[in-house]
Amino acid sequence: MIKMTRNELNNEYFEWMYQLVCNDKYYKRLSYRKLLSHLHSIDFIYIIGMDGNRAEDGIGLRYRFGYEHQYEEPMIATYLDDRFCSILEMLTALAIRCEEHIMDDPDIGNRTGQWFWSMISNLGLEFMSDTKFDKRYLDGVISKFLNREYKRNGEGGLFTVKNCKHDLRTAEIWYQMCWYLDDIIVS
């Protein structure tokens, strides 16, 4: 078994997630460590029951990290499973699921970062590099997202769907994403 402290493993896990969504293809000159670190400090609390699946995916990301780095499950369970799924974990896991289960196209390549940053952009946080980080603003945006205080079409949430016949505030995140993907593919 590899010897590592809880903080070392948590830091390595954060860096792994950061690289999944902030590689050179998307953001080579700007750092978003403050934004992503703060998103990782906020629990993903959901009010629609089926969004529990998104939290489970986020927690599952911890075990994917462990598998890829050859850390044993008891180590991951002991050091990483001591808290709820974070907003960052949920968003990263959702971006991965979007890419790997729905939008996979070997000719285009991995677009996990693209799906992640589309959600960040729709939340209105794409400008928040380390030099422009505003914790109070971020906390307000996340509160509105978690409490589903965004517009009916999803604007201000994770996905905006033009001319959607559904109120996205009452739909689980998975359906929102599917309608969003349908909308951008048809457009």
Domain boundaries, the chain: 6-186
pLDDT per residue as tens digits for the range 114-141: 999 999 999 999 999 999 999 999 999 9
| Predicted TM-score of the model (pTM) | 0.92
Would you say 38 and 137 are in contact if contact means Cβ atoms under 8 Å apart? Answer: no
Rounded CA separation 89/81 (Å)? 12
Q: How many CA atoms lie within 13 A of 60 on its CB side?
A: 12
Question: Is the separation of the CB atoms in 50 and 22 below 8 Å?
Answer: no
Interatomic CA distance for residues 81 and 106, integer angstroms: 33
Give per-residue pLDDT as tens, 22-54. Answer: 875 555 577 899 999 999 999 999 999 999 999
Rounded to 5°, the CA angle 118-46-184 comes to 25
Res. 145: pLDDT tops 60 = yes
Q: What are phi and psi of 43, to 5 degrees?
A: -70, 140
Task: Please give the DSSP secondary-structure letter assigned to residue 23.
Answer: -
**43 - beta bridge partners?**
86
pLDDT, residue 1, reads: 53
pLDDT for 24:
58
How far, in Å, CA of 177 to CA of 161, rounded? 9
Q: For residue range 83-116, what is the model confidence (pLDDT) as tens digits?
A: 899 999 999 999 999 999 888 777 777 789 999 9
**Site of tokens 């089926």:** 50
Residue position matching structure tokens 């750092």: 31
